[in-house]
Structure 1
Amino acid sequence: MRPILFQIGPIPIYSYGLMMALAFIVADYLLAREFKRLRLNVSYANEMLILALVSGIAGARLLYLIENFSDFLKAPLEMIFSAGGLTWYGGFIAAFIVLLIYVKRRKLPILKVLDAIAPAVALGYGIGRIGCHLSGDGDYGIPTSLPWGTIYANGTLKPTYALRSYFERFPELAEKYNYWEKASKVIGEDRFGIITEFDTFIKLHPTPVYEFLLMVVIFIFLWIYRKRIKFSGELFGLYLILSSIERFFIEFIRLNPPLLLGLSEAQVLSILLFVSGILFLKKLRNVKKPNKNDNAR
């Protein structure tokens, strides 16, 4: 892992920040291109993306603090201003609400705008996941013996800490990987924390890479299908369905603890978004008022 890719003088260039910047640039290009194709004011696309970025980061951090409220009470400033600590669905929901308000105030065709956003969000999210992988920020999968299993010893969140609650839930696996003994042996330290023998030994599913690949596939499908939609809003509905399916199944090999009926928080939210996408498309189909400009080229 390379949390810091390189330095320009005394200034470190973080891999996560660089990939987030790349995601922003790509999303901006795609959104502007779609606005132009749909004959919408391109300047609005730039404004929307900035609003989505700011509100998304705020929402992602807020949900993370809620999830880790006990830790937040112990060190509030450290938690608020830490380099990591962002939860995707919190950012998605916050950005979605802010953009709905913006679109309404600008009197833009909301369904067209949502369709324009869908491919950009899909690819932007995927690129952002590569940043998570390179920085080793804790978005880890469960232990694996597969040849592409990844060692995150240099990550910003060490596996020793990230897997503690996982092994507390599965003591038989803790014994299998000799967790408690290896986690107690400190062999080094970097700017992000202590490195244990366990950190240098355990291989984990690189779930951010899996998500990147899946979201690229979803993006390609949305990008091809966008000129074939039968009614405004269809593309966004498909995005909700496909992205929620992707996240739901990835969660089975991630470290996130169960929240309800053995499902993680992200899986519960994925189910809600999947149902929302189905109902959204069903409602739009019932309207039966295709837009002539849906297939604008």
Structure 2
Amino acid sequence: MVINSILNPIAIKIGALQIRWYGIFIATAVLLAVWLSLREARRQKLNEDLLYDLILWSIPLAIISARIYYVVFQWSYYQHHLGEIVAIWDGGIAIYGALLGGGIFIFYFCRRHQLSIWQIFDIAAPTVIMAQGIGRWGNFMNQEAYGAITSRNFLQRLQLPSWLIQQMEISGFYRQPTFLYESMWDLTGFVLLMVMRHSNQLFKRGEVFLAYVMWYSFGRFFVEGMRTDSLMWGSLRVSQGLSVLLFIGALALICWRRRQQPTLNWYWPSKLKE
């Protein structure tokens, strides 16, 4: 069956109130991430009150950081449309901005409340990449985060459903579904990290998070190279450059910590098994 119209990005409309699918996907992703993170935190017997405080502050700050990051690299447009800077419901948040802003706050919060920074990052990492994978479907509904012009036949050969193919017809041309490539990469990373992090003495403390950084940045580098709406800094795709730095930095940090700090605790030592 061929669908002849694009999907409506507005899920619910009550008078002037509009709730977009973009927001629903983002909210769903965040709620699932929080739930899974809290489950893991309980297994490690962390202070739940402090964790709720951390979550209540870090999520809105991460969203604000994601928007600021996007606006900065699109300032040539937003300097002439200042009123649209707050229109986050129309899309336009950058995950690297969220990670940087949220990460800085978590670092500050953990230092202030004497929590293990690496432990918190390890707990959050798999759920964050899951949220990223789900959130990409908000881009799909908004018809953004797409790639170069392609053909309908190519999309059909990928065995994609007709409703997805039709949504990838943008301005009269079919586009590469780069949102889908990244979503599948992210969700695969989520499954792998969830399965592997409780393996006996596989990850040292902090390495679940560093493995997440390496997995995500590796995939993002290649997907970003296929996109046609990348944030640019001159001729450089910002996310590609940052992906390279993060991948190398995470790998180097794992090697350095293993060599220089051989007594680091395991993320999941045998004694924690239930």
- The answer to whether TM tops 0.5 is yes
- For 1:191-210, what aligned pairs fall within 5 Å after superposition? 199=171, 201-210=172-181
Task: Give the direction of change, closer, same or farther, for the CA distance of 1:291–1:269 in structure 2 (3 Å limit).
Answer: same
- Residues 1:242 and 2:215 aligned together: yes
Match of 1:74 in 2: 80
RMSD of Structure 2 on Structure 1 (CA): 2.3
- Residues 1:222 and 2:193 aligned together: yes
- Residues 1:271 and 2:249 aligned together: no
TM-score by length of 1: 0.78
User: Match of 2:178, as an amino acid?
Assistant: T
Runs ≥4 residues deviating over 4 A: 151-154, 257-263
Task: Give the direction of change, closer, same or farther, for the CA distance of 1:23–1:204 in structure 2 (3 Å limit).
Answer: same
* In structure 1, distance between residues paired with 2:190 and 2:15: 37
Q: Bigger CA drift: 255-264 or 35-44? A: 255-264
Unaligned runs of 5+ in 2: 1-6
Name which of 30, 36, 48 aligns with 2:36: 30
- Residues 1:106 and 2:79 aligned together: no
Task: Give the direction of change, closer, same or farther, for the CA distance of 1:213–1:70 in structure 2 (3 Å limit).
Answer: same
Aligned length: 252
Name which of 19, 43, 68 aligns with 1:13: 19
* In structure 2, distance between residues paired with 1:129 and 1:100: 26
Q: Bigger CA drift: 11-20 or 99-108? A: 11-20
* In structure 2, distance between residues paired with 1:261 and 1:272: 18
SS in 1 for 2:85: helix
User: Match of 1:226, as an amino acid?
Assistant: R
Does the Cα contact within 8 Å between 1:129 and 1:211 map onto a contact in 2?
yes
Does the Cα contact within 8 Å between 2:205 and 2:265 map onto a contact in 1?
yes
Does the Cα contact within 8 Å between 1:231 and 1:289 map onto a contact in 2?
no
* In structure 2, distance between residues paired with 1:261 and 1:70: 12
Task: Give the direction of change, closer, same or farther, for the CA distance of 1:107–1:262 in structure 2 (3 Å limit).
Answer: same
- For 1:143-222, what aligned pairs fall within 5 Å after superposition? 143-145=149-151, 146=154, 147=156, 148=160, 150-152=165-167, 159=170, 199=171, 201-222=172-193
Deviations 1:55-87 (A, max 9, x none): 111111111111111222212122333532211
Unaligned runs of 5+ in 1: 160-198
Question: Identity, % of aligned pairs?
Answer: 27
Q: 1:259, CA displacement in angstroms?
A: 4.7
* In structure 1, distance between residues paired with 2:77 and 2:227: 21
Q: Bigger CA drift: 23-32 or 51-60? A: 51-60
Does the Cα contact within 8 Å between 1:256 and 1:264 map onto a contact in 2?
no
TM-score by length of 2: 0.84
Deviations 1:87-128 (A, max 9, x none): 111111111101110111110111111110111111011111
Does the Cα contact within 8 Å between 1:127 and 1:212 map onto a contact in 2?
yes
